[in-house]
Structure 1
Amino acid sequence: MLVSLHHLLFVLLPLALAARHIIRPRPDTLAMSHGVTRFCLGVGKWVLLVDPLWHLADMTFRGGPESLGTSVAWMGFLGLLLSLHFAATAAGDTLAGLGGMFGFPVSDLVQETLSLRRFTQGKWLRLTALLLAATVLAALLLTASFNDTWLHLKALFSPPARTASSVLQQARVRTDFHVLTIVAALASLVALPHSRDFLREPAPWKATLCILIFTLAAAMLWTHAAPVS
């Protein structure tokens, strides 16, 4: 890739913000601070949750049905479902954050559409149904096979025969803190409020938390996928 996420975060974004301050030297402080916190949350979600969960799902679904076990099938399915959800909310946070930082308002309609709230109206049952349908569709795209997708879904409830490849795949999936990532993602999905609702009332501790999340995400991004010189 000619332009990586590193370049966008650490080169292009600072240059664009500097140019924005030259053009408009007196930005709206409240909108700017709200935009920074939303942007930090969006990037944090993407790096800390979406990337590792998508990697887990991709590794599981592309591993082939012969390497499936029940635990592997569930981790792959949950990884795909959660990565899709947080990818949607991260997109909404990032766009709203950029809007606040650069001075162009992002309508509630756009934010709700990106974060799926437009389609679910905040109802858990609707969100679950939408995510399940999207997960099955994404599984079909990953495997490029109706049969492989069906075997994966079947393995969620009907354990296949244990083979050497399935044991190795289970060991592989359980490494790299995949279980911890899924637990953290599930806890975030169930317990944490929507970003816009969370940041509706500004508070110093909220801004500090968002900046810490971004700092951790930036450190992980830089150390795990540093740009090649």
Structure 2
Amino acid sequence: MDNHLGFYLTNDSNETIELPVNPTEIMIKRESDDKSETVIKLGEVNLLGEDKLQDISIESSLPIDPKAVNYISALELLDSAQDYIDWIESARKLKKPIRLVISTTKVSLKSTISSFEYGMKNGYDGEYTYTLSLKEFRPFEAKKIGVKQQPVQTVEERPSPPSKVGMGSIVIVNGQLHRDSQGNGLGQTEQNATRKISLVAPGALYPYHVATLDGGSRGWVKESDVRSA
């Protein structure tokens, strides 16, 4: 049925179930990791961040005997509410992502089960009520970055005076990033990274906010950590 609205869960073994009763509502939370920063003579600015992981919350019911009630929405059923509970609990304990698909919509989300809460209300009326909370799964792979050894200088060279840099300057950054211009929130360490100065906080401990050349926020660094590219 092309127009059938169903809520499907598929586990790591490619086993799929359809939730027996469609929830009356489903909440999908999307937000960005934006940060506010105060810049001298400018005031508060908003630094746009990357997308955070999506959260989805599903609230519905599991009839004790799904085949004995007339308000079922699923096309195929498991034998009992306990079968659904066991399936979801098994997927949660495996600590592997599952996929939620809502037919007739564009929702197809690879996620982890962050919590599963169920019980009986109204003095046990033949069904469980439950809340299933899912969080988007975003695969990543950690890579070890080696530090290249610098050759030993055999001839002492007189350093060139640093070029003046400021707002909009393209610079080479060698140093640790911070969340704000006072040095709070330690971030990653840049090594010979080509960046652009996007904000300046004169007199601050870490006066330069640097970004990627296409505008992606990186963090605040010391004056001594930057040189003109």
Q: TM-score range by the shorter chain?
A: under 0.3
Q: Choose 1 or 2 for highest CA Rg.
A: 2
TM-score for both structures, normalised by structure 2:
0.21
Give the number of the structure whose residues are more often strand, by fraction.
2
TM-score for both structures, normalised by structure 1:
0.21
Give the number of the structure whose residues are more often helix, by fraction.
1
